[in-house]
Amino acid sequence: MDDKAREDYFHFVCAQYYDDDRSIKVNGTTIDRYMFVITILLRQRELFAKQPRLQLSLGGMRGLFWSGAGRRKGGKELGTIPALPDEVFDPLMTEALRWLDVYSADIIELRKIEAEAAERCASWRSKNKTYYINRHLVGFQFSKNPLTNLPWRDELRMIEEVLDVDETGTLRQKLGPLGVLRRLISNLLAACSVVIQGFTGLRISELLGLRAEAYFRSDLFPSCISIRPSLDGLNQVFLLNGEIFKGAVSESSREGQWVVGIRPVDSDFVPEAVRALILVLEVVEGWRNLTQDTHVFIHPKAQGMPRSKDGVGAARSNLMRKLQQQFLVQWVELPVEFAGWHLSTHQFRKKFAQDIVRCDPGALPAVREHFKHMSMHILETGYIGSDAELLRLIDDFALRDAAAQIMSIIDGEPVAGKMSDEIRRATPRIRQAYDNSISEEDRRKKIEGLIDSEGIRAWPCDFGTCLFRAETAMCHFAGRGFYDPSALKPLASERCADRCSSCSNLVVSARNLQFWKDRYRHNERLRLAYKEEGNTSWALLASRRVQVAASMLQAHGISPKDLAHAA
């Protein structure tokens, strides 16, 4: 373990608790307590004198960890806080979407049964109301998990033992049906909040600041959602209207707007974040009827189910963080190395910005399609909402991703596309800009500085990444008849594999290989079919596409023999 490893561990700890753009919202000693592990290892250093490889090296980080300066540094260096890793995000979002799509119907049905029973006994002068309601909930049978074809939980019993697991340990308690229902509602609210934050990049303060008028018919959207046509009139853009908070109590909010989804004009598709909002309003409708509070996310103030306006109110940030963390621990199975992960709002924001830039083809289908459409919308309009900080975060990731692509080419990793050839030729000049002894992170920052002055950003799509330069952008030449020196990004309407594969801005990396494999197989089949039919012109077109796809794959070490077999 060297200085870099300790630095990485420090950033990891900060990422677990950093939850605001301005300060670390955590008790002052928490991070130091985690960093004290370094102190303990240093004290045991002499015990490993005969195994120096296992010794913790001496360095300048000790004062940082021991003095508590780590908290101050962690709050300032926002760039060091990583995005929520895929190993956590993917299973978390998969489970959250399953709650929206499958489990929510059972919870809403239970809410109706509970509400009807509560209404029937509301006028009783009896202490047995809770028992009466519980009797109506007992025996409820839950729908089947689509993965196992078995009920996703056991039917409700009069008493069941549950475990609460969090970072403080395990708490065993016994709950009746009403208590179980309360937990299920909290789980569902957490799942909805995860979906909304994951698909929008909202902070928790902005999520919990969302408001909607008294609930609506099921065929209408919440009042905080508006729809407008896209510039070309072919799509509808869903906008979420709320307030942007800076995190400081003394600062006032300002009106905010976020793009939360896009659909064709003739489609009835409802974006995941909008579905989550509708579901929240539906499941808490009874509670909203008790109070005049118009917040979307409301929650009981005490144990049990609220029966009066004093028993329910707007959910608070600490509560929602706790519910999200409990949902992760109780319902999501993580890889061993990520067990115990602590969720933080800023991780969701950085993950959102990263997905906008990368459009990872290996992501969950719903996530992949959402961010593919969002990226196209940004290219077409430059608009994603009025959250300026989020836009800067996206631009930072576009710059960072461009630098990472260039570093991979300099380091000799297999990369295809004309841009990669230019970078290889320029490698000696690029290497003159930094000392080979510096760390990989410092090297990336040096390259970022070089390309930032040139305005180069990474704009990915299924078939590759455009390291955009206006003077060589064939999409602008095809769409406008000239190279536009003022252009800052690709022209979305003209981007396609045929055109971009011959453009000097394209880089094809390993994450694009599946596209080119599929393109090779498809066009090879077409080439053979057209040739047999005697359709020479179409056979030639398919043949050219096969050749381009083959060259992209060959640059990654896939041989023509393998390609022929794959076809």
Q: Tell me how far the alpha carbon of residue 462 is from its chain's centroid.
A: 18
- Closest by alpha carbon to 357, among 389, 379, 385, 387? 379
Compare 336 and 357 and report the one with higher pLDDT. 336
- Per-residue pLDDT of 217-266, as tens digits, reads 556 788 899 999 987 788 899 999 988 865 434 456 678 888 898 999 98
User: For 485, phi and psi rounded to 5 degrees?
Assistant: -65, -15
β-strands 298-300, 254-264 pairing: unpaired
Q: Look at residues 197, 153, 199, 194 and name the one whose alpha carbon lies nearest to residue 177.
A: 153
pLDDT tens per residue, range 403-438: 888 888 888 888 898 888 888 888 888 888 777 778
Higher local confidence (pLDDT), 393 or 288: 288
Give 360 or 148, the one with higher predicted confidence: 148
Say which range, 13-22, 354-363, 427-436, has the weakest mean pLDDT: 13-22
- Strand 298-300 versus strand 312-314 pairing type: antiparallel
What does DSSP say about strands 225-229 and 254-264: parallel, antiparallel, or unpaired? unpaired
Determine the Cα angle at 274 with ends 268 and 276, to 5°. 120
Percentage with pLDDT > 90 across the chain: 32
- Cα separation, 496 vs 278, whole angstroms: 36
**Average pLDDT of the chain, as a whole number:** 82
Judged against a pLDDT cut of 80, whether residue 363 lies above it is answered with no
Report the amino acid identity of residue 451: I
Confidence of residue 97 (pLDDT cuts 50, 70, 90): very high
3-state secondary structure labels for all residues of 109-162: HHHHHHHHHHHHCCCCCCCCHHHHHHHHHCCCCCCECCCCCCECCCCCCCCEEE
Q: How confident is the model at residue 560 (pLDDT cuts 50, 70, 90)?
A: low
Q: How confident is the model at residue 19 (pLDDT cuts 50, 70, 90)?
A: low
First-to-final CA distance of the chain = 48
Tell me the helices (H) and strands (E) count for the chain, helix number first: 22, 10
Please check whether residue 302 is in contact with residue 217, taking contact to mean a CB–CB distance below 8 angstroms.
Answer: no
Write down the pLDDT at residue 506.
92
Q: Which residues pair with 97 in a beta bridge?
A: none
Residue burial 236-255, b: 16+ Cβ < 10 Å; e: rest:
bbbbbbbebbbeeeeeeeee
The answer to whether the beta carbons of residues 508 and 489 sit under 8 Å apart is no
Helical (H) or strand (E) element with 226: strand 225-229
pLDDT for the residue numbered 567: 47
pLDDT digits (tens, 9 = 90+) for 503-548: 999 999 888 888 999 999 899 999 999 999 999 999 999 999 999 9
Check residues 363 and 47 and name the one with the higher pLDDT. 47
Task: Say whether pLDDT at 480 is over 90.
Answer: no
- For residue 442, how many C-alpha atoms fall within 13 Å in the half-sphere facing its CB? 8
Output 517 or 59, whichever has higher pLDDT.
517
Q: Which of 139, 267, 264, 281 is nearest to 210 (CA)?
A: 281
Q: Does 278 have pLDDT greater than 90?
A: yes
